[in-house]
């Protein structure tokens, strides 16, 4: 635990001291606001519908943020050679993965919560339940956490942060494409493919203000598997 905390605090310090994290944060908040303005407001709608539309787009933006934040997690260390400091120290690969992942997750969660000003605007002319907002945000954080975990795995596969972000993007898009492909497939492939969709299948309930256990289990399972795979990749580097 101590080692995880050590890596986590260094990574968080790095987010605070480097401009790239601020650029990504500013871009995510800007896009959230622009999409809300473009799609959620204007027409006459129920406040809950406006909030659903906001969550739909904010979920996609959070996924993008997760992909972008994950690219530097492990790949950058290899790129700059700082992984050598970590892996010649008495620290386990899993502790490195978890420390870095949690730091990025904290930053992404703070960023996600910072977009609360957008649903708060709904209160100017409407009314939504706090439960709907809470379920939406929890769902978004889980969605972001899952994307971040997939990105962490992608980041363990290459030493180039740019390739890492491309790879991460490809993984996330492939999972999301499972939904439309599943719709035209025959059972049981239909259910199997549809189940793999990160946003359309598993974020849908959160958008509507419901947090389903099945979705939480799906997200947590994918997070666990992705981080485990990243750890195995790091452990196997010694064999190369």
Please identify, using beta-carbon distances, which residue of 127 and 240 lies nearer to another protein.
240
CA distance 78 to 208: 41
Per DSSP, 159 falls in state S
For residues 61 to 90, the per-residue mask of contacts with another protein, x marking binding by CB under 8 A and - elsewhere, is -------------------xxxxxxxxxxx
Supply the minimum distance, in Å, between the C-beta of residue 1 and another protein. 13
Please identify, using beta-carbon distances, which residue of 85 and 170 lies nearer to another protein.
85
Q: Choose which of 1, 17, 43, 186 interacts with another protein (CB under 8 A).
A: 17
Contact (Cβ atoms closer than 8 angstroms) between residue 240 and residue 165: no
For the chain, what is the largest distance between any 2 Cα atoms, rounded to a whole number of angstroms? 61
Please identify, using beta-carbon distances, which residue of 1 and 124 lies nearer to another protein.
1
CA distance 46 to 22: 34
Report the sign of the C-alpha dihedral through residues 52, 54, 56, 62, in that order: negative
Contact (Cβ atoms closer than 8 angstroms) between residue 141 and residue 112: yes
> Restricting to residues 83-122, which ones interact with another protein according to CB under 8 A?
83-92
Please identify, using beta-carbon distances, which residue of 11 and 215 lies nearer to another protein.
11
Binding site for another protein (CB under 8 A): 3, 6, 10, 13-14, 17-18, 80-92, 238-240
């Amino acid at each position: 635990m101590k080692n995880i905390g050590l890596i986590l605090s260094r990574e968080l310090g790095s987010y605070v001291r480097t401009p790239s994290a601020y650029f990504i944060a500013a871009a995510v908040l800007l896009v959230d606001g622009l999409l809300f303005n473009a799609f959620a407001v204007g027409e006459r709608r129920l406040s809950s519908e406006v909030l659903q539309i906001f969550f739909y787009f904010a979920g996609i933006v959070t996924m993008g943020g997760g992909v972008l934040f994950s690219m530097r997690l492990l790949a950058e260390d290899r790129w700059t050679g700082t992984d050598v400091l970590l892996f010649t120290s008495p620290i386990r690969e899993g502790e490195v993965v978890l420390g870095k992942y949690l730091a990025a997750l904290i930053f992404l969660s703070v960023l996600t919560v910072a977009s609360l000003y957008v649903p708060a605007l709904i209160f100017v002319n409407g009314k939504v339940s706090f439960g709907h907002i809470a379920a939406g945000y929890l769902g978004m954080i889980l969605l972001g956490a899952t994307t971040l975990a997939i990105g962490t795995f992608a980041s363990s596969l290459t030493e180039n942060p740019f390739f890492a972000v491309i790879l991460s993007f490809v993984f996330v898009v492939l999972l999301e494409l499972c939904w439309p492909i599943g719709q035209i497939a025959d059972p049981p492939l239909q259910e199997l493919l549809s189940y793999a969709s990160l946003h359309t299948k598993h974020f849908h309930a959160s958008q509507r203000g419901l947090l389903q256990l099945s979705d939480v289990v799906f997200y947590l399972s994918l997070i666990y598997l992705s981080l485990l795979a990243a750890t195995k990749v790091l452990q196997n580097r010694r064999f190369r």
